[in-house]
Amino acid sequence: MTLTTALSILGLLSFVSTAHCYFITIDAHAEECFFEKVTAGTKLGLAFEVAEGGFLDIDIKIIGPDGKTIHEGERESNGRYTFPAAMDGVHTYCFSNKMSTMTPKIVMFSMDVGDAGKPGEHNAANAEEGEAGGSKMEDMIRELSAALSGVKHEQDYMEVRERIHRSINDNTNSRVVMWSVFEALVLVAMTIGQVYYLKQFFEVRRVV
């Protein structure tokens, strides 16, 4: 492997894809929007997970630069969407909690921006290097970068899911303990009442 090839590999790994991961709190009756300015042909990706709040649901909308809705979903707990930008401009991602009356939601999401992939760009680079296998190496590096990004996102989502499930289990255990204590108190009260009733029933009253 030549020095030029090694430098090109490092360069590809540095800009093949960028991912931004965020945690946001969306209040009841509120909507939060985020923007990504890209060129046509750029691969865009959005992955999200509702971590806390209510029934763990949120409304989502993805809007293109022309104002047309690319994707719209209601009361979704999680999702992943990947699509190429159809035109140059700002793409908008909106999370809406307007359906909630009083419960805020915590949402974890990431926005991925891939390579623009302009036609003929890689062929020109290969012609300068004069290596027949350059294009294939670049494709393998891009696939590896996408796979690593997917693994990282999956780890983040697994961490959020584990936190959600632990919270649900803790709440369930607390309710089971409270219900058990309530049942014990009811049984004790019923036992005392029955003893008192039987004592009154068999008690011999003296007639003065």
CATH number for the domain that contains residue 102: 2.60.120.680
Helix axes 134-202, 121-129, angle to 10 degrees: 130
Dmax of the chain from CA atoms? Answer: 124
Is residue 124 in a domain?
yes
Is residue 192 in a domain?
no
What are the residues whose beta carbons fall under 8 Å from the beta carbon of 11, sequence distance 6 or more? none
Instruction: Kindly state the tokens that stand for 176.
Output: 């089971």
The number of helices, as runs of H, and strands, as runs of E, in the chain is 3, 8
Q: Please tell me the predicted confidence (pLDDT) of residue 55.
A: 85
60 closest CA partner among 107, 23, 113: 107
Its domain, for residue 141, covers: 3-163
Is residue 80 in a domain?
yes
Is residue 191 in a domain?
no
pLDDT means over runs of 10, the chain (208 residues):
46 48 87 92 87 87 93 90 90 92 88 64 49 69 74 73 78 90 92 85 61
User: Total domain count for the chain?
Assistant: 1
Is-above-0.75 flag for pTM? no
